[in-house]
Amino acid sequence: MSIHNPDIKRVTVHTLQELKQKGEKISCLTAYDYSMGRLVDAAGVEVILVGDSASNVMAGHETTLPITLDQMIYHAASVVRGVKRALVVVDLPFGSYQGNSEEALRSAIRIMKESGAHAVKMEGGAEIQESIVRILSAGIPVMGHLGLTPQSIYKFGTYAVRAKEEEEAQKLMNDAHFLEELGCFGFVLEKIPAVLAKQVTESVGIPTIGIGAGPHVDGQILVLHDVLGITQEFKPRFLRRYADLHGVITEAVSHYVDDVKAHNFPNEKEGY
């Protein structure tokens, strides 16, 4: 297996723009630690998102709300140490940017300074305008996130598809243009109808990255633990599993337990 674009030495926000212009799809995955960041980077994804989904898959919380800025910085710094090529984007966690733009800028600066990441991602459109502008004016690239925004799960009440109705679809389209005008380098479209994602993608000049948004977006993102089959219960229609690590890990560990119990590990060659 090879990296699709070995000539890209280091992915930047400009690389993503070029890929959109060339019509080449952008591959993105999440990662939360050094070892996985290193593997995912070496396998050739263009963007690694240190998502606040760490709250779910790393910490076992039901939602993304509990994870803190300090915890996100810890995950991001670990990933950055393993990455040589991909653009590393870090989620600003719930509560670190909604209060006011000063707090938002302080949070974004902490992420950039303490983790060495390359950009931040924020959920929302017009309602977080001031924070986006302030962060961008400090020279920090910002990625948006529209559609199903998990930090607002208690407002939505469910993880169902968003923007099916005309009014919400129109607001999403307006927000998409708004993010582009503000200077965001791209945005995630999560769990919206494929037709709407296509319309949005065709009407903006910056890359759109879909998750549960169909094929007509500029790139795709999934949560690494879902792709590798580490998580089992989460089975949305949009998810494609590329491995069954749940099975592989369970089998390997139970084999190890059996060997220890049976005095089969370590053998003579495995000692000093």
DSSP 6: T
Looking up tokens 């999934």 gives 222
Neighbours of 180 (CB within 10 A): 17
Neighbours of 270 (CB within 10 A): 7
Q: Which of 51, 141, 144, 147 binds ligand KIV (CB under 6 A)?
A: 51
Which residues are 145's β-sheet partners? 124, 188
List the structure tokens of 213.
């948004």
Which residues are 30's β-sheet partners? 49
Write the CA distances from 149 to 86, 94, 235, 260, integer angstroms. Answer: 24, 11, 18, 46
Q: Where are the beta strands (DSSP E) in the chain?
A: 26-30, 47-50, 87-91, 119-121, 142-147, 186-190, 208-211, 219-222
Q: Would you count residue 131 as binding ligand KIV (CB under 6 A)?
A: no
Q: Would you count residue 201 as binding ligand KIV (CB under 6 A)?
A: no
**Smallest distance from the beta carbon of 164 to ligand KIV, in angstroms?**
19
Question: Catalytic: 190?
Answer: yes
User: Between 9 and 233, whose beta carbon lies closer to ligand KIV?
Assistant: 233
Q: Which of 223, 225, 228, 231 binds ligand KIV (CB under 6 A)?
A: 223
Q: Would you count residue 30 as binding ligand KIV (CB under 6 A)?
A: yes
**Smallest distance from the beta carbon of 242 to ligand KIV, in angstroms?**
16
Q: Which of residues 61-100 bind ligand KIV (CB under 6 A)?
A: 91
Candidate segments 44-52, 79-87, 228-236, 238-246, binder of ligand KIV by CB under 6 A: 44-52
User: Between 30 and 131, whose beta carbon lies closer to ligand KIV?
Assistant: 30
d(C-alpha 30, C-alpha 211), whole Å: 12
Q: Which of 41, 45, 48, 53 binds ligand KIV (CB under 6 A)?
A: 53
Of 103, 130, 165, 190, the active-site residue reads: 190
Give the binding site for ligand KIV (CB under 6 A). Answer: 30, 49, 51-53, 91, 188, 190, 211, 221, 223
Report the catalytic residues. 190
